[in-house]
Structure 1
Amino acid sequence: MRVVHNSLHDEVAATLREEIFAGRLAPGSFVDEAALCARLEISRTPLREALKVLTAEGLLRHEPRRGCFVAEVTQRDLDEIFPVIALLEGRCAFEAARNASDADIATLTALHEKLERHARAGRINDYYATNYAIHEAIILLADNRWLAQVIGDLRKILKLARLQQLHAPGRLDQSLSEHMAVFAALRARDSEGAEAAMRTHLNRQREALREVARLSKSRIATS
């Protein structure tokens, strides 16, 4: 696969970012520069510039004299990030409820109908993609570039672990219920209600990830 773009290192960074999110570059794995150069048909210079970008985003970690490794999100990372992003996305929901037009609500209605269909069918990957689109739509409606910028940076880190929470027992239905509560407040133009519902939604994601981690440890202990 050959990468072609006016800004080659940006395109390489985008390619590697998606491979990290998809799990093709696994958490903790070594980034083999020679192999990537051969596969992407590029020189070391744009690759190394791309690795600097991903390291700055927190998706890679650089170890002197060893190279780059795909970042692993720890439980402490999640404990520290989720309260922050709950506050930030809660504020976005507050602003979105004040800003949303009837056309915006119609768009959100269609997205939530799609979300419900995926939940009922148990399509976790499709549900996650639609869930992500809903969060993006709310951030856009908030129309605050500073909020969007900080949330975007944090979401890149959380994307390494966030999908796992949907595998917690009962989480898919719970997540849908939380989303519908946020949407009901947005539709009613209830800023404070939307903010509270979004904070609850994000904090419960953290609780679900704790449950996934607990179940994983339990399975390992009994295997």
Structure 2
Amino acid sequence: MRLVHNSLHEEVAARLRERIFEGELAPGSFVDEVQLAADLAISRTPLREALKVLTAEGLVRHEPRRGCFVAQVTEQDLDEIFPVIALLEGRCAYEAAQHASDADLQALEALHERLARFARARRINDYYAANFAIHEAIIELAGNRWLAQVITDLRRIVKLARLQQLHAPGRLEQSLQEHLSVFAALKARDAVGAEAAMRTHLTRQREALRELARNQRSRIGP
């Protein structure tokens, strides 16, 4: 399908970002510019501009004389990124507790009710979508565009890992309880408590991913 847009390379970047996050362009894989240009019915120029955008975001790496490759996220990357995200999203929860109106909290309550329904039904994909919406809502309620910008950039990198932490034994139920703890603090206008609960939530996400990685290595063997 031909792409038409005032800023074509931005739309191309969005399409490529989607393919990376869905795993169609796998971590470490070569980005075939000729094939992609043909698939998207565009010239190489907007494609190369789009790849520059993704390189700046850390989703693609460029190797001289070899071309572009989809970036890979290591365990060390996750160990370094998660504490930063926990710190930043914790601060968002702190500021959201100070700024949220009664109407904002009612909207958040509806999101948490959906989250609980999906957890009970073990609809992990739907749970993940509701979970993401809650995090986005809290970031928006914080009203701090600098926090939002940095968190968005870091989330793109973490998403490359194709996170499956909700599949860790007991993690779905644990995640729900963590979210409810954050929401309880927000309803109480307890900024310090909301910050601590959010940081705990993000820290435990990393612990769940680490456990999954250990289990996968043990199944594969030496």
Q: TM-score, normalised by structure 2?
A: 0.98
> Which segments of 5 or more consecutive residues in structure 2 lack a partner in the other structure?
none
1:126 corresponding residue in structure 2: 126
Tell me, in whole angstroms, the C-alpha distance in 2 between the residues paired with 1:162 and 1:90. Answer: 23
Which amino acid in structure 2 is aligned with residue 91 of structure 1?
A: R
1:1-16 map, 5 Å: 1-16=1-16
1:104 corresponding residue in structure 2: 104
The offset of 1:38, in angstroms, is 0.5
2:141 corresponding residue in structure 1: 141
Evaluate the alpha carbon distance shift between residue 181 and residue 162 of structure 1 in structure 2; reply closer, same or farther with a 3 A threshold: farther
Tell me, in whole angstroms, the C-alpha distance in 2 between the residues paired with 1:129 and 1:70. Answer: 24
2:41 corresponding residue in structure 1: 41
2:164 corresponding residue in structure 1: 164
Which amino acid in structure 2 is aligned with residue 86 of structure 1?
A: A
Question: Is 1:91 the counterpart of 2:76 in the alignment?
Answer: no
Tell me, in whole angstroms, the C-alpha distance in 2 between the residues paired with 1:104 and 1:18. Answer: 30
Which amino acid in structure 2 is aligned with residue 117 of structure 1?
A: R
Partner-residue secondary structure (3-state), 2:221: helix
2:192 corresponding residue in structure 1: 192
2:151 corresponding residue in structure 1: 151
CA RMSD of aligned residues (A): 1.0
The offset of 1:75, in angstroms, is 0.4
Question: Is 1:53 the counterpart of 2:82 in the alignment?
Answer: no
Q: Which runs of 4+ in 1 moved over 3 A?
A: none
Partner-residue secondary structure (3-state), 2:69: strand
Per-residue CA distance 1:144-166 (angstroms, 9 max, x = gap): 11111111110111122263111
2:73 corresponding residue in structure 1: 73
Tell me, in whole angstroms, the C-alpha distance in 2 between the residues paired with 1:74 and 1:105. Answer: 37
Partner-residue secondary structure (3-state), 1:189: coil
Per-residue CA distance 1:80-115 (angstroms, 9 max, x = gap): 001111010000000000000011001101111111
Evaluate the alpha carbon distance shift between residue 133 and residue 99 of structure 1 in structure 2; reply closer, same or farther with a 3 A threshold: same
CA contact (8 A) 1:179 1:201 kept: yes
Partner-residue secondary structure (3-state), 1:62: strand
2:82 corresponding residue in structure 1: 82
Which amino acid in structure 2 is aligned with residue 71 of structure 1?
A: A
Which amino acid in structure 2 is aligned with residue 85 of structure 1?
A: I
Partner-residue secondary structure (3-state), 1:163: coil
